[in-house]
Amino acid sequence: MNFLILNGNPPGKGKKIDEYIERLAGAIKNARHDVEVLILRDMKINPCLGCFDCWVKTPGLCSIKDDAREVAKNYIASDHVIFCSPLIMGFVSSLLKNAMDRNLPLIHPHLEDLDGEIHHKKRYDKYPVISFLLEKESCTDDEDMAIATEIFRRQAINVRTTLGFVRLTQSPVEEVLRAIDVH
Amino acid sequence: MQLTFINGSPRPAKSNTGRLMEHFIRGFLETAGNTCQTEFLARHRKNLDALAENFASSENVIIGFPLYVDAMPGSVKEFIEALEPLSGSKQLPALGFVIQCGFPETAHLRFVERYCAKLTRRLGCRPLGCILKGGCEGLDVQPDFLTAKYYLAFQAIGLHFGKTGIFDETLLKKLAHPENLKAENMLQIIPFINQGLWDAQMEKNGALNKSFDRPLIP
């Protein structure tokens, strides 16, 4: 399987999650999968402008010239994407969220009835499973985890895939690896 | 009463969020003495700390944004992160949100609503709640009878807020209708949006034949 790990740890938030990601990527490699790690803070990823050029002018391509296209290209070529971020004010970093927003060209503007709710049509045949590796902040509680996890579940539906795992960096790497094996 | 409206739309000039809030603000200002200041988040990206200071010194703040991948746009999250040092400060403003999406059902907005409620508590602001409205893509091309209904509802919520300092639950509920759609309603609405909104724009741009292109295929 092809794994893509998006490291959404912003500058100045400490190195703990970076080290965890390195160990996780190593463990995934040892399990004989391909893994690519993109460190978002070292890339240029502007926020989505909501212009919809990627839907109505150049279908499938964003009009902003920066590194988000490389992220989208790697994303659609993967079987499983692991979004990684410290929780900041109860949600993933803006660095990671901007990268997620910029994947809009991967889906189609047309809507359809998906199990009784309206969602966007697929542009590609196959989308990677998405998972989340998060680092707790000092105030993170069960409610924060429930709120974030429900949003991730919704995001998976809207990017036409399923939610793999949601884990904290407190879990041993082996446990995350086991969670991956399930999918 | 003083209100700061922070428009978190990435399209400051032509935002659906702003269009709806214009009517809210009109209603709000009907009460004598009320004042409202609008700030466009997109114009403050380089200096979010100044906007955070403005937030802290306001009496009431409403943050507005479109739903992006089931949550706030990344640029709005940047601002939320800039508010972190204020958490638990004394005399923070009362805080409310206005969130809209292109999906016709309000159900899509309920998840980020929970996040916003928790964020309000995390900051220690008095909660005003969330004004939620689905069906907002392409407000400028939607038929007038529909948009007039939305605008009047926003004006009524603003008027009530201007008088009482609270978002009226009954008005919010009315605005949030429909929460979900019946199959027969979807059958009517989907082609209206797919052809009337998206295909029409693609055609105008000469891109309709490329509609389902897969340029990033490996």
What Å distances lie between residue B17 and A2, A8, B61, B133, CA to CA?
39, 28, 15, 10
Residues A5-23 as b/e (b if ≥16 CB within 10 A, e otherwise) read: bbbbbbeebeeebeebbee
Handedness of CA B139, B144, B147, B151 (dihedral sign): positive
User: Among all chains, which residue has been given the structure tokens 């007039």?
Assistant: B148
B84, A88: Cβ pair inside 8 Å?
A: yes
Provide, as residue numbers in chain B, all residues whose Cβ is less than 8 Å from the Cβ of A108.
211-212
> How many angstroms separate the CA of residue A81 from the nearest CA in chain B?
16
Report pLDDT for B142. Answer: 85
Contact, A131 vs A168, CB < 8 A?
Answer: no
pLDDT tens per residue, range B84-142 = 999 989 999 999 999 999 999 999 999 999 999 999 999 999 999 999 999 998 888 88
* Model pLDDT, residue B109: 98
User: What is the rounded average pLDDT of the residues A22-30?
Assistant: 97
SS3 A166: strand
Looking at the DSSP assignment, which residues form a beta bridge with residue B131? B98
Residue B14 pLDDT exceeds 90 = no
Tens-place pLDDT, residues B172-184:
999 999 999 999 9
Q: Is the pLDDT of residue A183 over 70?
A: no
Give B105's contacts in chain A (Cβ within 8 Å). Answer: 117-118
Write the residue in A48, A88, A139 that is nearest to B81 by C-beta. Answer: A88
**Minimum CA–CA partner of B69 in chain A:** A155
Question: Residues with Cβ < 8 Å from B97, sequence gap 6 or more?
Answer: B62, B63, B64, B65, B113, B116, B128, B129, B130, B131
Q: Which of A59, A96, A154 sits opposite B70 (nearest CB)?
A: A154
All domains of chain A in start order, with CATH: 2-181 (3.40.50.360)
Contact B16, B48 (CB under 8 A): no
Question: Are the CB atoms for B82 and B47 separated by under 8 Å?
Answer: no
Distance from CA of A140 to the nearest CA of B (A): 10
DSSP 8-state symbol, A47: P
Interval A76-102 mean pLDDT: 98
Closest CB to B10: pick one of A50, A77, A116. A50
Nearest residue of A to residue B214, measured between CA atoms: A60
Residue B54, SS3 per DSSP: helix
pLDDT at position B218: 73
Task: Assess whether pLDDT exceeds 80 at residue B52.
Answer: yes
Among the ranges given (A155-169, B122-136, B137-151), the one the predictor scored with the smallest mean pLDDT: B137-151
Phi/psi-derived region of residue B203, left when phi > 0, alpha when psi is between -120 and 50, beta in every other case: alpha
pLDDT reported for residue A132: 98
What is the complex's ipTM, to 2 decimals? 0.97
Is 70 exceeded by the pLDDT of residue A175?
yes
Instruction: Provide the shortest C-alpha distance from residue B115 to chain A (in Å).
Output: 6
Interface of B with A in 34-53 (CB under 8 A): 45
What is the reported pLDDT for A25? 98
Q: What average pLDDT does the segment B28-47 reach?
A: 96
Closest by Cβ to A90, choosing from B15, B118, B214? B118
A155 contacts in B (CB within 8 Å)?
69-71
| CA atoms of B109 and B179, how far apart (whole Å) | 9
Q: In 3-state terms, what secondary structure has residue B66?
A: strand
Chain A contact for B72 (CB, 8 A cutoff): yes
Order of strands, edge to edge, in the sheet holding A80-86? A34-39, A2-7, A80-86, A129-135, A163-168
pLDDT band at A40 (very low <50, low <70, confident <90, very high): very high
| Least confidently predicted of A51-65, A72-86, A89-103, A169-183 | A169-183
Please calculate the CA angle A53-A55-A59 and round it to the nearest 5 degrees.
95
For B213, the token pair is 């292109």
Q: Is B122 helix (H, G, I), strand (E, B) or coil?
A: helix
- Nearest CB among A76, A93, A100 relative to B69 is that of A100
Domains plus CATH for chain B? 2-180 (3.40.50.360), 182-218 (no CATH)
Our measurement of the distance from residue B183's CA atom to the centroid of its chain's CA atoms, rounded to an integer in Å, reads 26
